[in-house]
Structure 1
Amino acid sequence: MSRSPPTPSDRPSDLPPELAGWFAARGWQPRRHQREMLAAARAGRHALLVADTGAGKTLAGFLPTLAQFCPSAGPPPPDGLHTLYVSPLKALAHDVQRNLLAPVEELGLPIRIESRTGDTPSERKARQRARPPHVLLTTPESLSLLLSYPESAHLFGSLQRIVIDEVHAFATGKRGDLLALALARLSRLAPQVQRVALSATLADPQAFRRWLSPGGDAGLVDLVTGEPGAPPEIALLLPRGERVPWSGHAAAWAVPQLYQAIRAHRTTLVFTNTRFLAEYIFQLLWAANDDHLPIGIHHGSLSKEARRKVEGAMARGELRALVCTASLDLGVDWGDIDLVVQMGAPKGSSRLLQRIGRANHRLDCPSKALLVPGNRFEFLEATAAREAALEGERDGDPFRPGALDVLAQHVMACACAGPFAQSALLAEVRSAAPYAWLDEAGWHRVLAFVASGGYALKAYDRFQRIVRTREGALGESAGGESAGGDAIWRLAHPDQAHRHRLNAGIIVDAEMLDVRFRNGRSLGRVEEAFGASLSPGDTFRFAGLDLEVESVRDLELIVRAARRAGAIPSYMGARIPISTHLAERVRRLLVDRAGWGRFPDDVREWLEMQDWRSRLPGPGELLVETFPHQSRHYTVIHTFEGWNANQSLGMLVTRRMEERGLGPLGFVANDYAFGVWSLKPVDDPAPLLSPDILTHEFIAWVENSHLLRRAFREVAVIGGLVERQHPGKRKSGRQVTFSTDLIYDVLRRHEPDHLLIEAAWADARTRLTDVARVADVLERAGRQVVHVRLDRVSPLAVPLLVMIGRESLPAGAADDDLLLEAEALASEAMRPDDAAPAGHADAAD
């Protein structure tokens, strides 16, 4: 909603008099982009709105719907689903429902608004299918499930408008693939439907116009841009009288200052990058809370009841601070928030802008934010992100071809809704931009997989899900062809529909255990691997509470309140890598010597000592440092390409070093570099980084590592080959892993080109190994490797070496140990010498 007086309009007649009066009663007038969205709707055009936070994007998206239901517009639209709102987060859907009800109730409009997410009770879901509201707020997964019901054709036949909020958050990934396929189906069920997407942070609006358009034609989608808002006020929080830490990510040092900031503001939103850090920072804040301020916690593993309770308290202005994760990243409009804090590195300028936009949710009022770096590299990253945000620069993930496992799930959903014609569904699928590439051969492979599991599995009845029919449905003739020569497919058995709906979804988390009190009250979920390590009497901290395990039964942890603190659960979610755009900015900061003067003294001295003793990587250069340390030889390669790419390169370079007899002993990686320690020194790093590493070692490494098995487990679940849920029973994570490993081994031996093996490879290349960024490093290595030989550890390598042996620990778990070890390494690296620097650089062009 727009909470600030919009710019004056010289065309108030754009709005029905009821809405014009509603605006006027608040001293508002519709903004230009809101009028343009209304004009696009009246012209029957699809539209993409890109406008700053607080610009009234949500209201702009819904304005045509509200206008159509105004009495002055004529008879109200008939009963039935009129507008579908799709958001990436459950919290956002509930927040929009709360805010949208205000104008509807105040204007007395005959609009029923409901939400439908994974938290919605089953009886309400059934009622919504039989008697849908006028406006339904949902997520991509819930929409896909709705489309799997036979009544979906009737349910969506009246649909006029689809509003996709925060489209940048999911369009480029698998959830975006699923939504694009759903949009294609909706356009067939309701040819009149208009598509609208909203975002504040798009780096490439043209690509999103293609994604949003039926058929991928960007020209069919109007681009509407909003007026620029007030520039944000972004400050970096630094230690008082102390040095910026060398390593660590929790920024626990900042808690006393953070608590004072909370005291000085009405409501503070504290963002962390992981669920572990949310619990950890909440614990530290609560220990410092001498004033007993109401402080809450919110993340995706908490129970629905816990999340709703906190969201309600925030909406009523009852909390002074809320520690959260990406579960509240997007669009949530709580007007009393006057400060946003980012704990640790922001990882991208768009993500940072999205988060700080939650403060002072008004276009004419600057958002106020504090960035709290955990270490020196994070200080540089936070500085780069701050400057990018102030300059209005955006970043984001690129689009890639639609995933085959998602397509298989969609085909099954279509079959659950009723028999489908093979060629007609292919045409529909191709109209979704992510699948415009799909040819007949690929389509037949997808159908064969959904029908029987593929060549190697077709003998097993449990994989038989759809069949070609010889009956007369859809006007087909005998032999399974329609009157137009189109093959018809239907479910192999009606039970398949129930099984699909139990297991459909795109987000495949590690298997979880429910955490409950004995009275049945749910607190949320922890990962099975963590829960399996607990025994009765053990304690742990979760949902801000100290808990003691009473028993472990089935897939539940039964707990009671404890008097002592315990371990905080960690989660195996994927790490967010630093964006390519932000990494380039950090590299520019490193070589901008004139700009170092604005840095804290210890950071400036760190860079100056690095510059004097070794070298700082210039544009287009790949800096490789080699040095001895504690009877070992170290090779550190400063890539700035993110953790996934550096982890992959660390594995590949280690293998090459082993083949060359250098005796590698291990490696460590972070977002900025990776390092290998070995028995023998590396004299020439260039051969270790030659491009053929991707055509030879990369394939062998991925095939023989856990990565492909992990990717296969996820695509097998998404593609429906392995079911996690059965009626009245849920498989444990071990059971799912056992099943997928068996199938994986069968397919690797007998059908290595299986559809899901291909899908797993696509995931391994993009998400798990970030092979595109690996290739960027190798391309830089081919242009210019700068090899610096040193007699001891370099200042730039200290933050990396401190992590050796602690890579698997959650951030914050070993900060005290890290500080001690960092001091010892830093003393060696920063020790001044009377002699000239020992570094010797070789540049290989």
Structure 2
Amino acid sequence: MSAFDHLHHRIRAILQEQGIIEPTLPQEKAIPTILEGENVLLIAPTGTGKTEAASLPIFHQILSGEGKSNNTPKHGREKKKASRTMDSDGMQSSAMESGGMDSNGIKGIRAVYITPLRALNRDMLRRFHDWGESLGISVAVRHGDTSQSDRRRQSLSPPDILITTPETLQVMLTGKRLRLNLSTVRTVVVDEVHEMASSKRGSQLSVLLERLVEIAGDFQRIGLSATVGSPETVARLLVGTNRGYRIVCADVERASNYQVVSPQPKGGDYSLASTLECDPRLAAQIRWIRDEVRDKKCLIFVNTRQAAEVLGSRFRQLGEPIGVHHGSLSREARVEAEEAFKAGELQGLICTSSMELGIDIGDVDHVIQYSSPREVSRMLQRVGRAGHKIGLVSSGSIIATCADDVAEACAIARRAADSKLEEIKIHEKPTDVLANQIVGLEIDFGDISLQRVHQIVSRAYPFRDLTVEELEGVVSQMEEHRLVRREGGILQRTRKAREYYIENLSMIPDEKRYNVYDIVGRRSVGTLDEAFVVGFAQPGATFVTKGEIWEITEIAEEEIKVVPIQRSGEIPSWTGEEIPVPFDVAQEVGRIRREISEMFESGKGAEDAEEWLQSCYPVEDEAARELVDLIMRQREKNHPVPNESLVVVEGGGEGAIINCCFGHKTNDTLGRVITSILSARFGSSVALQIDPYRIELTLPKALLAEEIEKLIEDLDPDYVQPILEMTLKNTSLLRWKMIHVARKFGALSRDVDYQRVSMAKLLAVFEGTPMYREALREIYHDRLDIERTRMVLVRIRDGSMAMTTSSLSPIGTSGRGGGKDVTSPENADAAVIKLLKNRIMKDRVLLFCVNCKKWKSMRQVERVPDRPECPLCGSRMVAALKPWEEDEIKVVRKRDKKTSDEKRRTKRVFRNANLVLSYGKTAAIALASRGLGPETAARVIGKLQKDEIEFYRDILKAEKEYARTKRFWG
């Protein structure tokens, strides 16, 4: 007997009409269990019929008038309470053959289908629509883009099945008529549940489902997920505490074929590089992608939107039928790209994680991953989009961009083949989510006791351990911001509550976005984030979006007006996109290095090492050779090879590199602790940059590698968290998180300009509050790994992990190539140099006489005389300061005894004035540039007399370096 035999006869008839005789494995295993009314988490690869496994039983239940019901529904403020009649099997009885009317005659929604993306909503509607029409079952979509007329129609005549997002459900729970419509819900399906599990949206959804229980009584919960590393965690997030569930794993045997490639420049790649104004290595990669796309339909996944834009612009230059798809493009642009790919007008689509989920774009023959995907789960999800039918091979190629990338891609491909996925870590007791949902419960109930809030919220898995004291602490914080009024043990709604609630429907951080409007084509082409606009945007600046190059003509309050042009541009700088490489993947990269190194040690050659690598990992010749060659060069120079259990500290001048294969989060944690200790020792900042295999330090003065080695060896693992907390207090990262959390608590308005908010004031007001603790907790969850860092330090102390020192080595200085190859070429073209020069000339500079200390004058750089001179005393000792350096003048003028820091700052101003004395206006030009102090300016000034282009090119290089590292300073 097949799973289909359990379904309503009308459903079976349609399946037969469609020629679908046999259920897929996920359908065979899941349909009977779902029909029994159990809560189910169905885990199966993409393209194996998961959606139908969940939806066909829902159609069956609606046709048969069945559905799970364990509790009497509660309508919050509504006095009428619907009761349900139950038959002997515990199923709801209904005289209706079809439709969503309960036994009290309430016509309402029978099933809610929740997806994380609006694009998936569109997809689901298309797939459900035909079934609904054939069966006489109404289906509708509701999300932020749904028109007011459609919303009203849905409220007055609710559909049987509603497809929506968590944020829209958040709104629906507070409407009087919508709550009545939701009181008939018997089933909730959460699609792509793994996608929300590790974010605050997952915690928010878990409470929303408990609030829905208060309206509808208990209902059946079905989660659909691709392969995940923590099925138990995801299932508990879905069903809450104290409810049973079944995990149905349908490991469909879908052949997967991975290959790691590293195209090297040859023949025509050099002329292609000249045409595209890019590095020959990038040209080789573009040629390789172009050849693949000509043979088959490909999705080309990249890790950042910057990479998507740069590759897209290059293919546009070549006239190739390859589109771009990512979250910052307008909805119209995304839909257009999806439809064009589906129709075959595009052979390739460059995309970010926006395409990982099951959006219907038709058949995909092959997936190309540009640069390592960083995580095994991403690799499986992305490659699963190819051969999106049972029996077809899912094939994927990873283009490695450097030797580290080769090793990392090898490790990920092997782990993907063995289904070794990363564990999902949910957010435990996020207090901003809690505050948000307390407001929701106030609106749901009007008045509600603190005890009742605790009862409801603690049914949600992330809040299972929430204490009443913790809840009271959050309520007290909310009282300060007028989100709740407390009368004894009763919480009452305030006037501000509903406005706050509507403004904070989503737990995705608010960040101001500027619409990008093409004034030539009269259309919206995407959005730019606040950080990019503040840091880079000005009339005349160029950038890339939607694969095209644009020049900014005007910046309005909410909109950037642009025109299309044909020259190089600054890449839009989206924040927070770095996908962290997990500890286990980084450790395997270390093992690969060690194995190759040991082969050389035993007398074997490069060919033997390449052969071994290719026997263990799906790596092609050029890629294997690149990795083996790096390790061979390391050994030839007698440098130790860093591996999974050997940390190598390299010193050289005012920089140091700690080679450690611990992944992003552990390296970031360890790096921050080390820089904190060194900053305290030097009395000045230490710049930090990390990748999964290195911690790079820029020091104010030279330090021996042995000194850093001793610092790490002496570091007490118990001090990691306290040092981190002290360090984070001075970072823009904590300020950024604090502002986002404070917005979610209603403590700051949404339109506050975070750049103008003082960190000191924020700390003075919020330190020690639930908001402050939440900001720290979120940083620890998303960016750092305290436990692993402690474990590493313990292993170094007990000797199970070795440490040694070295001078700078090929591995240490190779850095992570990923991303470098895909940015604009180092030698910027003449147009960019011209733009830079024009910008600097329009910038302002503060001239200050250090001789008489009386005269100062603010003026544009182009108006600075060739030889600046003080009009009061005639001295040419005139410093050219940046407009925001006015405080330096106060320090120089100070007559009292100066501190050591004030002496250093005074010396710096005099060094500045000496440069202007020696080089005149040339020095003012260099000193007016972003991030160039007297020392850096001195190095580039000499070039102007010889070569103006080189002079500005050096300034551009220094500005880029400053932009890259400025977040680590101060």
TM-score bracket, normalised by the shorter chain, equals 0.7 to 0.9
Q: Give me the whole-angstrom Cα distance separating, in 2, the residues matched to 1:773 and 1:520.
A: 52
Indicate whether 1:75 and 2:90 are aligned.
Answer: no
SS of alignment partner, residue 769 of structure 1: coil
When structure 1 is superposed on structure 2, of 389-398 and 379-388 the one drifting more is: 389-398
Name the residue aligned to 1:615. Answer: 640
> Which of 202, 214, 234 is matched with 2:258 structurally?
234
Q: Give me the whole-angstrom Cα distance separating, in 2, the residues matched to 1:153 and 1:300.
A: 32
Name the residue aligned to 1:837. Answer: none
Q: Give me the whole-angstrom Cα distance separating, in 2, the residues matched to 1:372 and 1:82.
A: 47
Using the TM superposition, give the Cα deviation of residue 814 of structure 1 relative to its aligned residue in structure 2, in angstroms.
5.1
Q: Give me the whole-angstrom Cα distance separating, in 2, the residues matched to 1:196 and 1:782.
A: 48
Using the TM superposition, give the Cα deviation of residue 231 of structure 1 relative to its aligned residue in structure 2, in angstroms.
1.9
What whole-Å deviation, never above 9, does each CA across 1:353-412 have from its counterpart, x for those lacking one?
001111121122111211111211111111111111112222233234120001111111
Contact 1:350/1:396 (<8 A) preserved? no
User: Which amino acid in 1 is paired with 2:286?
Assistant: V
Indicate whether 1:288 and 2:306 are aligned.
Answer: no
Q: Give me the whole-angstrom Cα distance separating, in 2, the residues matched to 1:789 and 1:537.
A: 49
> Which of 411, 426, 429 is matched with 1:399 structurally?
426
Q: Which has the higher contact order (CA 8 A, sep 6+)?
A: 1
SS of alignment partner, residue 592 of structure 1: helix
Could you tell me the TM-score, scaled by structure 2's length?
A: 0.73
What whole-Å deviation, never above 9, does each CA across 1:612-651 have from its counterpart, x for those lacking one?
62333454x24123343xxx16543223333344234333
Name the residue aligned to 2:884. Answer: none
Name the residue aligned to 1:680. Answer: 703
Q: Residues 147 and 252 from structure 1, CA distance in 2 versus in 1: closer, same or farther, beyond 3 angstroms?
A: farther
Indicate whether 1:445 and 2:473 are aligned.
Answer: yes
Q: Residues 584 and 626 from structure 1, CA distance in 2 versus in 1: closer, same or farther, beyond 3 angstroms?
A: closer
> Which of 674, 677, 683 is matched with 1:653 structurally?
674
Q: Give me the whole-angstrom Cα distance separating, in 2, the residues matched to 1:737 and 1:116.
A: 36
> Which of 344, 353, 357 is matched with 1:326 structurally?
353
Indicate whether 1:812 and 2:825 are aligned.
Answer: no
Q: Give me the whole-angstrom Cα distance separating, in 2, the residues matched to 1:522 and 1:348.
A: 34
Contact 1:610/1:616 (<8 A) preserved? yes
SS of alignment partner, residue 600 of structure 1: helix
What whole-Å deviation, never above 9, does each CA across 1:578-633 have from its counterpart, x for those lacking one?
023322322222223366432622321222343562333454x24123343xxx16
Contact 2:132/2:139 (<8 A) preserved? no
Q: Give me the whole-angstrom Cα distance separating, in 1, the residues matched to 2:498 and 2:108.
A: 25
What whole-Å deviation, never above 9, does each CA across 1:499-538 have from its counterpart, x for those lacking one?
4213332111532211123486322210223234333343
SS of alignment partner, residue 704 of structure 1: coil
Q: Give me the whole-angstrom Cα distance separating, in 2, the residues matched to 1:707 and 1:536.
A: 29
User: Which amino acid in 2 is paired with 1:264?
Assistant: D
SS of alignment partner, residue 524 of structure 1: strand
Name the residue aligned to 1:761. Answer: 776
> Which of 311, 329, 354 is matched with 1:302 structurally?
329
Contact 2:125/2:163 (<8 A) preserved? yes
Name the residue aligned to 1:273. Answer: 303
Using the TM superposition, give the Cα deviation of residue 15 of structure 1 relative to its aligned residue in structure 2, in angstroms.
2.1
Q: Decide which structure has the larger Cα Rg and report it.
A: 2
Name the residue aligned to 2:804. Answer: 788
> Which of 521, 524, 529 is matched with 1:522 structurally?
524
SS of alignment partner, residue 241 of structure 2: helix
> Which of 123, 135, 155 is matched with 2:181 structurally?
155
Using the TM superposition, give the Cα deviation of residue 33 of structure 1 relative to its aligned residue in structure 2, in angstroms.
3.2
Name the residue aligned to 1:843. Answer: none
SS of alignment partner, residue 787 of structure 1: strand
Using the TM superposition, give the Cα deviation of residue 781 of structure 1 relative to its aligned residue in structure 2, in angstroms.
2.6
Q: Give me the whole-angstrom Cα distance separating, in 2, the residues matched to 1:72 and 1:145.
A: 28
SS of alignment partner, residue 506 of structure 1: coil
Q: Residues 426 and 237 from structure 1, CA distance in 2 versus in 1: closer, same or farther, beyond 3 angstroms?
A: same
Indicate whether 1:257 and 2:276 are aligned.
Answer: no
> Which of 7, 19, 25 is matched with 2:11 structurally?
19
Q: Residues 523 and 183 from structure 1, CA distance in 2 versus in 1: closer, same or farther, beyond 3 angstroms?
A: same
Name the residue aligned to 1:799. Answer: 814
Q: Residues 239 and 216 from structure 1, CA distance in 2 versus in 1: closer, same or farther, beyond 3 angstroms?
A: farther
Q: Residues 542 and 814 from structure 1, CA distance in 2 versus in 1: closer, same or farther, beyond 3 angstroms?
A: closer
Q: Give me the whole-angstrom Cα distance separating, in 1, the residues matched to 2:386 and 2:734.
A: 41
Contact 2:405/2:816 (<8 A) preserved? no
Q: Give me the whole-angstrom Cα distance separating, in 2, the residues matched to 1:401 and 1:35.
A: 35
**Superposition RMSD in Å:** 3.0
Q: Give me the whole-angstrom Cα distance separating, in 2, the residues matched to 1:529 and 1:279.
A: 18
> Which of 245, 248, 252 is matched with 1:224 structurally?
248
SS of alignment partner, residue 768 of structure 2: coil
Q: Residues 571 and 816 from structure 1, CA distance in 2 versus in 1: closer, same or farther, beyond 3 angstroms?
A: same
Using the TM superposition, give the Cα deviation of residue 565 of structure 1 relative to its aligned residue in structure 2, in angstroms.
4.6
Q: Give me the whole-angstrom Cα distance separating, in 2, the residues matched to 1:58 and 1:286.
A: 36
> Which of 191, 201, 205 is matched with 1:165 structurally?
191
Contact 1:535/1:552 (<8 A) preserved? yes
SS of alignment partner, residue 675 of structure 1: strand
Q: Give me the whole-angstrom Cα distance separating, in 2, the residues matched to 1:742 and 1:623.
A: 37
What whole-Å deviation, never above 9, does each CA across 1:28-71 have from its counterpart, x for those lacking one?
31234324432223322100111122211111111211223448
Name the residue aligned to 2:87. Answer: none
Contact 1:665/1:677 (<8 A) preserved? yes
Q: Give me the whole-angstrom Cα distance separating, in 2, the residues matched to 1:465 and 1:316.
A: 50
Indicate whether 1:465 and 2:483 are aligned.
Answer: yes
Using the TM superposition, give the Cα deviation of residue 322 of structure 1 relative to its aligned residue in structure 2, in angstroms.
1.1
Name the residue aligned to 1:830. Answer: none
User: Which amino acid in 1 is paired with 2:288?
Assistant: Q
Q: Residues 662 and 778 from structure 1, CA distance in 2 versus in 1: closer, same or farther, beyond 3 angstroms?
A: farther
When structure 1 is superposed on structure 2, of 637-646 and 150-159 the one drifting more is: 637-646
Q: Give me the whole-angstrom Cα distance separating, in 2, the residues matched to 1:327 and 1:814.
A: 24
Indicate whether 1:116 and 2:126 are aligned.
Answer: no
Q: Give me the whole-angstrom Cα distance separating, in 2, the residues matched to 1:700 and 1:816.
A: 37
Contact 1:663/1:680 (<8 A) preserved? no
Using the TM superposition, give the Cα deviation of residue 424 of structure 1 relative to its aligned residue in structure 2, in angstroms.
1.6
Q: Residues 683 and 427 from structure 1, CA distance in 2 versus in 1: closer, same or farther, beyond 3 angstroms?
A: same
Q: Residues 737 and 659 from structure 1, CA distance in 2 versus in 1: closer, same or farther, beyond 3 angstroms?
A: closer
Name the residue aligned to 2:533. Answer: 531
Contact 1:712/1:740 (<8 A) preserved? no
When structure 1 is superposed on structure 2, of 572-581 and 518-527 the one drifting more is: 518-527
What whole-Å deviation, never above 9, does each CA across 1:414-438 have from its counterpart, x for those lacking one?
2233414222221010000100111
When structure 1 is superposed on structure 2, of 496-505 and 704-713 the one drifting more is: 496-505
User: Which amino acid in 1 is paired with 2:770?
Assistant: L
In the alignment, structure 2 segments of 5+ residues that lack a partner are 67-95, 102-106, 270-277, 600-608, 615-622, 829-970
SS of alignment partner, residue 549 of structure 2: strand
Contact 1:515/1:524 (<8 A) preserved? yes
What whole-Å deviation, never above 9, does each CA across 1:309-360 have from its counterpart, x for those lacking one?
2223334343211111111111223332111111111111111100111112
> Which of 534, 544, 548 is matched with 2:551 structurally?
548
Q: Give me the whole-angstrom Cα distance separating, in 1, the residues matched to 2:503 and 2:595.
A: 55
Indicate whether 1:204 and 2:230 are aligned.
Answer: yes
Q: Residues 770 and 134 from structure 1, CA distance in 2 versus in 1: closer, same or farther, beyond 3 angstroms?
A: same
Using the TM superposition, give the Cα deviation of residue 694 of structure 1 relative to its aligned residue in structure 2, in angstroms.
1.0
SS of alignment partner, residue 442 of structure 1: helix
Q: Residues 444 and 340 from structure 1, CA distance in 2 versus in 1: closer, same or farther, beyond 3 angstroms?
A: same
Name the residue aligned to 2:460. Answer: 432
Q: Give me the whole-angstrom Cα distance separating, in 1, the residues matched to 2:323 and 2:517.
A: 19
> Map of 1:496-515 to 2, 5 A cutoff?
496-515=497-516
SS of alignment partner, residue 296 of structure 1: strand
Q: Give me the whole-angstrom Cα distance separating, in 1, the residues matched to 2:765 and 2:238.
A: 36
Q: Give me the whole-angstrom Cα distance separating, in 2, the residues matched to 1:88 and 1:715.
A: 22
What whole-Å deviation, never above 9, does each CA across 1:724-781 have from its counterpart, x for those lacking one?
2xxxxxx2x62x5546858624424xxx321101111111222233434433432333
> Which of 557, 565, 569 is matched with 2:560 structurally?
557
When structure 1 is superposed on structure 2, of 143-152 and 251-260 the one drifting more is: 143-152
Q: Give me the whole-angstrom Cα distance separating, in 2, the residues matched to 1:49 and 1:721.
A: 40
Name the residue aligned to 1:362. Answer: 389
When structure 1 is superposed on structure 2, of 677-686 and 79-88 the one drifting more is: 677-686
Q: Give me the whole-angstrom Cα distance separating, in 2, the residues matched to 1:584 and 1:125.
A: 52
Q: Residues 530 and 780 from structure 1, CA distance in 2 versus in 1: closer, same or farther, beyond 3 angstroms?
A: same
Q: Give me the whole-angstrom Cα distance separating, in 1, the residues matched to 2:156 and 2:821.
A: 48
In the alignment, structure 1 segments of 5+ residues that lack a partner are 1-8, 454-462, 469-479, 482-486, 725-730, 804-808, 819-845
